[in-house]
Structure 1
Amino acid sequence: MKRILVTGGSGFLGSHLCDQLLAEGNEVLCVDNYFTGRRENIAHLLQHPRFEAMRHDVTFPLFVEVDQIYNLACPASPVHYQFDPVQTTKTSVIGAINMLGLAKRIKARILQASTSEVYGDPEVHPQAEDYWGRVNPIGIRSCYDEGKRCAETLFFDYHRQHRLDIKVMRIFNTYGPRMHPNDGRVVSNFIVQALSGDDITIYGDGSQTRSFCYVDDLISGMVALMKSRDDFTGPVNIGNPGEFTMLELAEKVLKQVGGTSKITFRPLPQDDPKQRQPDISLAKSELGWEPRVALEDGLQETIAYFRSLLNA
């Protein structure tokens, strides 16, 4: 049994990670400032004897004793991270410094939840970990993209300078139960619009692609990385290489939800990537990991969650 700190633990991914870590017999300290995380996501854990929840903002130092740290704290959808872009950058950069400082002091292994957004609007397809990316440093998405890139820099400098035990994963689009209904992400957008009987909004012409990883697969990859051999730091892509256009995704959602929603088109936002697909060769070879849940099956679970949430 380990005592494990999860920052951003009441968020979409963090709450599922807490579930998994508890199921493996660990003690879990969930830290969140509830900016995008929701207590509803961890309500079922609050009475668990090995679970503790703490309200805390990672931009301030934290003094606890744990064996491992999963650093997930940061708003991850454009609607939320663009609401207060300065705070988003602070959360990624100062939050990383604080968690790395904690890990250094207590000699804990620390995992950084980075993102496929470090690749920006890529010129290489699919994206492998040795691609440095194409990111606009002054655009409206930069607070998140560059914040996460700087966090990776800090992790590797702490590793080189202080021999800190680090793991860095780059998360590609993930979906599933407990997504925030108003997070502006494409899967939740399409499902909520379809369940509400509204038209489904596609930005651009619908030809841009994304790869969608079901949350259970993502969490299994995250835990596998934390447990990987000491000399493997990453970064490693964790995502589903199945690639779908926005139009294909909208049609799949409509087929499962039914109803009378139609598809409408609006202009593409600034710096929105045209393609996104992970090369997961490294995850396969180093972690023995690959996703198992097909998009249709994952959508079925996610739609059922939103249907109960919206009473639709």
Structure 2
Amino acid sequence: MRILVTGGSGFIGSHLIDRLLARGNEILNVDIKAPIFRHQVPLWHQTDILDLAELTRAFGEFEPQAVMHLAAKADVKARTWEDYASIFRGTQNVLAAIDAVPSVQRLLNVSTQLVIGPEYRPRSLLDFKPYTLYGEAKAFAEGAVLQWQSPVHWTTVRPATIWGPHNHFLVDGIWRYLANGAYLHPNGKQPVMRAYGYVENTAEQMIGLLEAAPSLTYRQTYYAADAVMDSAIWCDAFAMALRGKPAKRIPIPALKAAGLLGDAASKVGKRLPMDSGRALRMTESYPVPYEPTLKLLGPPPVTFEDGVRASVAWLKAGAPAHAD
């Protein structure tokens, strides 16, 4: 199959393209950035998704049968709506480019769990309750796909917390703190339950949704995740692998106090590792209904333990930004 991937140079996209290539697909990666994996450079078409004319030209020249749309600014800390133009305007451009190319039969739109906040149970696909401005932009993009007047078969997938080698967001965040013993996990009466997905499993789930029977995926939304687990288990697995000790604990009142201190520091131009927003995210459970995905596609191929080992091996190798 000829598959055009937008945003294929990113963390998830790079792993996804490798899995697509392993299945014998012909791939074009449309991205403003160069690929993480050097062997994928020949598949890369450097294009800004906000440039509709160039995007349409790339679609027309490649004539894809399917599109997997991942391109997005994945920074949850951006502060203005326009910072997320690659999501809301970019998705509109992708839909317009598909409309101009009759070869496209299927679209997989990659969204995020953040279109629905923690522990909220939506009543329909139109019932959004975004969590962060990034989630708002993704909800807008999902709405654009829902309202799209096209015969093209589309499916939306909402990844949960996706981890694995080449996730530099985690390298610069929690993995660094776990490695040096500075991370403090909230110690409360109830576990903090989170939905996690190992990146290779996520790629397989996305491909599975693209290839699944149309009757099961037509205009449907699924979540990409392996399991919902106590976040302490996830953190301790990496803490033990990186420094031989479980993550340190901190009482929740002390964590919230540290968050308030971080808020005060930010007002005078200083940034501390903790603020109230981060403290809240660390103490809120965030499960997602991923069971329909497993029912449709079966269990993921990579175990949690193997995923931890692969991630830690990459971290101990220096977490290289690029790989052959």
Number of the residue aligned with 2:314: 305
Q: CA deviation at 1:292?
A: 4.1
Number of the residue aligned with 2:89: 94
Letter paired with 1:95? G
1:165 has 2:156 as partner: no
- Secondary structure at the counterpart of residue 156 of structure 2: strand
Residues 192-215 of structure 1 deviation map (CA, whole Å, 9 limit, x = unaligned): 2333x2511447969533121111
Letter paired with 1:211? A
Number of the residue aligned with 2:119: 122
CA distance in 1, matches of 2:313, 2:172: 12
Distance 1:59 1:292, change over 3 A: same
Larger radius of gyration, structure 1 or 2? 2
Q: Which has the higher helix share?
A: 2
CA distance in 1, matches of 2:294, 2:77: 34
Number of the residue aligned with 2:233: 248
Number of the residue aligned with 2:67: 69
Structure 2's unaligned 5+ residue stretches are 260-275
CA distance in 2, matches of 1:275, 1:299: 22
CA distance in 2, matches of 1:194, 1:73: 30
Q: CA deviation at 1:16?
A: 0.6
Task: Answer with 260-269 or 228-237: which moved more.
Answer: 260-269
- Residues matched between the structures, number: 283
Letter paired with 2:16? L
Task: Answer with 272-281 or 92-101: which moved more.
Answer: 272-281
Contact 1:29/1:52, CA 8 A, preserved across alignment: yes
- Secondary structure at the counterpart of residue 9 of structure 2: coil
1:200 has 2:183 as partner: yes
CA distance in 2, matches of 1:226, 1:310: 31
What TM-score does the superposition give when structure 1 sets the normalisation length?
A: 0.80
What TM-score does the superposition give when structure 2 sets the normalisation length?
A: 0.77
Structure 1's unaligned 5+ residue stretches are none
RMSD of aligned alpha carbons: 2.9
Report % sequence identity. 23
- Trace 1:72-87 onto structure 2 (pairs within 5 A): 72-76=70-74, 80-83=75-78, 85-87=80-82
- Trace 1:1-312 onto structure 2 (pairs within 5 A): 2-34=1-33, 39=35, 41-46=36-41, 51-61=42-52, 62=55, 63=57, 64=59, 65-76=63-74, 80-83=75-78, 85-107=80-102, 108=104, 109-124=106-121, 132-135=127-130, 141-142=132-133, 144-158=134-148, 161-180=149-168, 183=169, 185=170, 189-195=173-179, 197-202=180-185, 207-231=191-215, 232-233=217-218, 234-245=220-231, 247-258=232-243, 262=248, 265=255, 266-267=258-259, 268-269=276-277, 272=281, 274-285=284-295, 287-310=296-319
Letter paired with 2:241? Q
